[in-house]
Every structure is written in C-alpha cells, then in structure tokens.
A and B are shown apart, each in its own frame.
Chain A
Amino acid sequence: MSQAATAVQTDTNAEHHEELSFLYKYILPTDHKIIAMQYIFTGMIMAVIGGYFAYAFRMQLAFPGELVPLYGLVGPGEYNMLVTNHGTIMIFWVAMPVLIAGFGNYIIPLMIGCDDMVFPRLNRLSYQIFLASTLVLILSFFVKGGGFGGAWTAYPPLSSVAEYSLTDWGASLWVLAVALEFVSFLLGGINFVTTTMNARAPGMKMMDIPIAVWFIVLAVILFMASVGPLIAGAVMLFMDQRIGTSFFLPSGGGDPLLWQHLFWFFGHPEVYVVLLPTLGIVADIITVFSRKKLFGYKTVLYTAFATGGLSFVVWAHHQFIAGIDPRMANVFVVTTVLISIPLAEMMFSYIATLYGGSIELKTPMLWALSFIAAFLIGGVTGIYLGASALDVYFHDSYFVLAHFHYTFFPITIIGMFAAITFWFPKMFGRMMNDTLGKIHFWGTFIPFNCIFLPLFFLGLAGQHRRIYNYNHFPDLATQELQNIRIFATVSLIVMLCFQLVFIYNFFVSMFKGKKAPDNPWNANTLEWSTPSPPPHGNFKTLPTVYRGAYEYSVPGREMDYWPQNEPPEES
C-alpha cells in the first residue's frame, strides 16, 4: 500500500492486461465490463420469467378458470406463487442486478476514469453469489408444494409455518435466495462505494462526478444501511421455518409485527435504491440529447440526499392499518408526505433542463422522457397512499398496485431500456436500429399505460390484490369491472409481443449493426473518450479530468460539447 498515496497516475496500462483464455474472459472474468454483461443478461432472463408469470396470472384474472395457453390451469395456490415470485423477481432479480449491479459495474469505472473496480475478484465473487441465489430461487419453484406463495413481503406467521403456507421448502428456499442476494449486493456495494470514493481519475472532484454515478453510489449506500436488520430478520425467519424457534410466532412470545418493521425498514429505502440509478441515468441522457447543462447540478444532488435520508424514516406507511400504534402513523404521514418536496424539486430541475435545449428525440431520449412522464403519475398517486386515512381505503387494493407499477415499471423496464439503448454502442461497438427502437418504444409505452391506468379505477372500486378469481366477491364480479380486467390483460399481451422487436433489434444489432464511433452521441463523460467497445483496462492512457460532466453548449465554443478529459486551451 505504500504506493497508494502516490498512485502512478498516467502510466499506460497495456502490459497488465494480456490476452485471457475464454474461461477467464467470459466465465470467470474479473473485468468489470464482462461482469456487468453477466448481471444484465441474468437480469434480462429473469425479466422474461417475471413477465411470463405476469402473463399467466393476468390471463387468469381476465378469463378466470380457463386454461391459460402456454401455462395451464392457474389454481389459487399457483396464483399466489405466481404473484409472489413475479414481485420478488422483478425487484430483486431484475431491477437490482440490471440497474445497480449491471449498469453500476459497467459505467462506474468508465465514468470515473479508472481501469477496473478496485476489487475485481470481489466483484466476480458477488456475481457468483448472485447467480447462486438465482438458481436457488428457480429451484424453489420445483420443490414439493411449489414455490412460495405468501406475497413478496413474506409476512409471518404465514411465511414461517409450513402448515399455514402449505409451501414447506418453497418458503425456506425463497428466504435463502433473498438472503444470498442481499449478501451478494452487500459485497458488490462495498466495491462500488470504495471505487467511487477512492479510484476517481485525477482532477475529478466530488462535483465533477456524473449524476448517474452519484446516484448509483447513493443507492448502494442506502441499500447497505437498510438491509442489515432484514438480513438479521431473514436469519430469524429461516430459523422459525426450519428449527422451530418463534421469533415471529405469538404462541411462543414472538411478534409478527416485528418482521413487518424489519422488512419495511429495508423495503422502503429499497424503493429509492432502485429509483435512484434510473434517475441518474435519465439525468445523463436528457442532458446529452437536449445539449444542455443539467439544471442545478448541486440542487439535484442535494434533493437526492434529502430523499435518501427521508426514506429511512417513512417505512411504517406500509403498515398504517397493520395494527401499529395509531399515533405513530401521524409521524409517518408527515415524513412520507415530506418526501414529495425533494422529489418534486428534482423533477422540476429535470424538466427545467429541457428548457432552451436542442432536443433530439433519439430512442434513449424517448425512453428517458417517458420515464419522467410515467414517474410523475407514479409519484403523485403516492401522495394518496402516504395519507394514512386514505390508506385505510386503499391499502392492498389495486390502487396501490397501479401506483407502484407506475413507479417500478418506469424505473425497472423503462430505465433499463433507456440505459441499454444509450450505452449499447459503447458496450458492443455497434449502433442499434433507431426505427426499430422507436417502434419498440411506442409498442411498450402505450400498452403500459393501457395496462395500469385502468387498474387505478379498479382500486377505486375496492378491488383487492392477490385474489385469483373475483367471482367470489359479488360486488366485484360485475361485467364492467371484468371488462377492465380483460382490457388490461390484452394490453399486457400486446406489450409482451412488442418485446420481440427489442430482442430482435438487440441481437441483430449486436452482430450486424452499423459500426459505432467512439462518441456517437457527442457526450462529455469519460466513457465516450475510449474506443467502443472499451478494451480490457478501459483506457489507453488513463484520463485526467478538467471540468464537470455537463458542459454542453458552452458559449464561445464551436463544439456544443466539451469532454471532461479535454485539456483547456492555452490562452
């Protein structure tokens, strides 16, 4: 470590990186770019599984009791298993690996100008643990009794007693998979934070870091600070299931509410853990495609700090009617509604960034703008649910469901497509087809709204979540409501079909697309100053940074961008 303080700053690092065998290059890589691909591809495969589950249970809701094509009959137990694992997969195995671990791995070293993560082998280990957790989760679908069906929140005693859940090993493997996944992201997170804190290119000050990197690191810090109690809780839940302790069983002196607190103390920051990376990616994309400096870089950053801090003190708004002390609910209403202030300011800043710009509606920009539009709906409907008295009516209804799909869908799916279409040229050295990209965009965004906007009205009509067949509730079994359900399901199928366009575009472009230049979008950040795709070691000469990441359209310059690593002209 003696050379740490006097790091060799601009040596050519070609000699470190000799050619590796296929095994070490693609199967056991230490290169952050390959690990990022592994995360992204695993996440996308899991997204296909999650989407398939959504298809199966939406079909059951629209046509109850019918055989679902490509699936079969969805009974009550299977329905519970499908919704539970759809939620779990989409949050823990799609949003987190793709957005944080995948794109975090890909862009952090490139954007801060270093040759790799600080702990490449730790990085590999965290992917391998993640892969193990994925396999455990998939295994849990096939054990006796089927996959876990106690909702992704896994409230005990249902999740902790096999006689209640009827999924003995399904529940245990589910807890095990989730715990492994947490360990994986803890290790990965330590790597991300340390890299960004220590390994920045010379000259890169805190306020020169691109927002995308800032937000991913903030997300990771939020994750690390919130997940600990839930890991403890997962250990306790696992012991309740397998050893027979009674941490969460009232009959043995435990308390089921304790798990809810442990879960939501993690669960609410988790929302911001997956939200922040997408917000950061979107900030980078809208500045590039509107050729504008980000409006109020510091304001945006501070609002993110405020959001992150507040997210730790709002968790009980998920439990307003769960039997908590009603007086505490008032405290949590105040903190919950307060969170709208920094987020509103951040949204205002994003929209203000567009003002006076020169907006070019390329596919990544369409995704980024649609994220803002959709997230606005998701954000404002959150106010309803933060109000405890309204939560009395809306708790666990389709209103909640529509609300968080209006946040999670933009975050996960739209954010993922925005990031993939934006960095695809850098990742594979080829351009994606813009026309197909736009077809895919409209084919996803319009059906998305058709799926979830009607669900707000189902929620207003008092329809509850996680019920496999509404015929059992006469108030809900009316033809009008059923028509809405069918409409949403049909929209879902349309949306899923349009994903084929993306898959086609993705793979054809990867091998046959137009060769991409180093900097196809004329962007400022460091990753665009290296060849596409970047070689092992990222930069031929490690860059030095001279300015912030968003110096677009600076007056007096001929070019409308000004890369971070371009030395200032002598004057």
Chain B
Amino acid sequence: MSMHGPIATHRSATGVPTGRLAVWWLMASEIFIFGGLIACFVLFKLNGTPGFEDASLTSLTAGAVNTFVLLTSSLTVVLAHAAIEKGDREKSFLYIWYTIGGGFVFLGVKAYEYTGKIINGHIITENLFWSFYYTMTGLHALHVIGGMVIMALISFDIRKGHNYQRVELIGIYWHFVDLIWIFLFPLLYIANF
C-alpha cells in the first residue's frame, strides 16, 4: 500500500477495506494455530495426563498482572486508533508508544516468571504441562514481540503523515494477541485441578 500501489489495492467489492479484510483472514488462520495448540492441551488435560496438576505452581499474581497489562494496552491502542481518526497524529503516536510500553512490561513479567520457574527446576522437558506452558506462552510472546516491532514502525510512519489506516490494522492484531492471552490465563494459571 505504498503511494504507487496497484489500483487493485483500492478496490473494495465486499465493502470491507482490503487491508482490514486481509487482517481478518490472518486472524482466522491464527485462530487455527493457537486453537490447535489449545485443543491439544485440553485433550491431554481432560485425559488426566500426569503432570497437569503442576498448573497450581504457576503464579496467579504474575498471570493476573499480565492480563491487566495486556487489557490496558488494548485500551491504549484502540485510543490511538480513535485519535488518528480525528487526525491527531501526536496523540496517536503517544498512545502507540504506551502500548509498546505495555508490551515491554508484559515481557518483563514473563521473563521474571520464566526465571523463577527455571530456578525451581520446572524446565520445558520436565513434563507435558511445562512443555505446553513454555510452548504456548512462548509462541504468544513471539506474537507480542512481532506486534511491538510493527507498531514501532507504524508509529513513525503516521507521524510523517501517511498510512493512517494501519493503526487500526495493528490494533486488531494486538487485540487478537490480547484475546489469546485471555484464554491462556485461565488455562494455565487458574484451572489447577
């Protein structure tokens, strides 16, 4: 969607702008990737595989703090979108950087949590629960990092005054990352029976 993009990009036979439609398709395929992992986790958990009682060892506080951080960053990114719609570039820029800051806090808490677990000997190969724990949260953290990088690029772009619609697109992606966490939180931190 550069300035010289093809005409095709600006057509909209469905009524949904092309960029947003593509992001929704991306979200649909991400549902399958995370959904597949979560489905496997649930299958093993309901099957009573030994090791899944270790869910009680995860830190509920850390999980809750991270949920809070992600929910708040979701708020800021949607406010960034609202601001850019009014044409307020500087405010939008600021809100995007609040969101990125939220991402850093999230990763910090995550790192603290991982450290604590590894010191206590709960490494990825200990049992199936910890394998799933590190795989799922790790994949999620990769999505967080990816989102932060893209957001940083976009923030400078909009300050220069182009590609405003991308704020909404990265917003949808960020909310999706938030949604995944909303489901990972009860699975990994709360349901410890």
Contacts and interface: CB of A to CB of B under 8 A. Distances in A.
- The reply to whether A and B meet directly (CB within 8 Å) is yes
A230 B29 CA distance: 11
A23 interface: no
Contact of A114 (B6, B37, B49, B128): B6
Interface in B2-56: 2, 4-19, 21-22, 25-26, 28-37, 39-40, 43-44, 49-51
B192 interface: no
Nearest to B25: A190
B125 A244 contact: yes
Contact of B10 (A4, A204, A226, A243): A4
Given A200-B13, A239-B131, A228 B7 contact: no
Interface residues of A, number: 56
Given A199-B13, A232-B36, A194 B6 contact: no
B7 A8 contact: yes
Interface in A6-57: 7-8, 11, 13, 16
Which of B13, B49, B135 is most buried by chain A, counting CB atoms within 10 A of its CB? B13
Contacts of B6: 13, 16, 114-118, 120, 537
A262 interface: yes
Given A118-B18, A194-B25, A231-B33, A16 B4 contact: yes
Interface string A169-187: 0000000000000000010
Contact of B32 (A116, A229, A253, A537): A229
Contacts of A199: 8-9, 11, 13, 18
Interface string A250-266: 00111100100010000
Interface in A229-278: 229-233, 235-236, 239, 243-247, 252-255, 258, 262
Which of A116, A230, A232 is most buried by chain B, counting CB atoms within 10 A of its CB? A232
Contacts, number: 157
B13 A198 contact: yes
Nearest to A114: B8
Contacts of A115: 6-8
B127 interface: yes
Contact of B17 (A1, A193, A195): A1
B124 interface: yes
A209 to B, nearest CB: 11
Contacts of B14: 197-198
Contacts of A230: 36
A109 B8 contact: yes
Contact of B21 (A8, A197, A224, A243): A197
B36 A194 contact: no
Contact of A253 (B28, B33, B49): B49
Which of B2, B51, B128 is most buried by chain A, counting CB atoms within 10 A of its CB? B128
B113 to A, nearest CB: 19
B29 A542 contact: no
A5 interface: yes
Contacts of B25: 189-190, 193-194, 224
Contacts of B135: 235-236, 239, 245
B31 to A, nearest CB: 7
Contacts of A239: 124, 131, 135
A245 B22 contact: no
A314 interface: no
B112 to A, nearest CB: 22
A8 B34 CA distance: 39
Nearest to B38: A232
B72 interface: no
A197 to B, nearest CB: 5
Given A195-B8, A199-B11, 16 more contacts: A5-B15, A7-B7, A13-B7, A116-B6, A118-B11, A120-B6, A194-B18, A197-B21, A224-B32, A226-B32, A229-B32, A231-B36, A232-B33, A253-B51, A253-B128, A255-B44
23 contacts: A4-B18, A5-B12, A7-B7, A114-B11, A117-B8, A119-B1, A121-B2, A189-B25, A194-B21, A198-B8, A198-B21, A228-B29, A228-B33, A229-B32, A239-B135, A243-B125, A245-B131, A246-B125, A247-B40, A252-B125, A253-B44, A258-B43, A262-B40
Interface of B: 1-2, 4-19, 21-22, 25-26, 28-37, 39-40, 43-44, 49-51, 124-125, 127-128, 131, 135, 139, 164-165
Interface of A: 1, 3-5, 7-8, 11, 13, 16, 109, 114-121, 186, 189-191, 193-195, 197-200, 204, 224-233, 235-236, 239, 243-247, 252-255, 258, 262, 537, 542
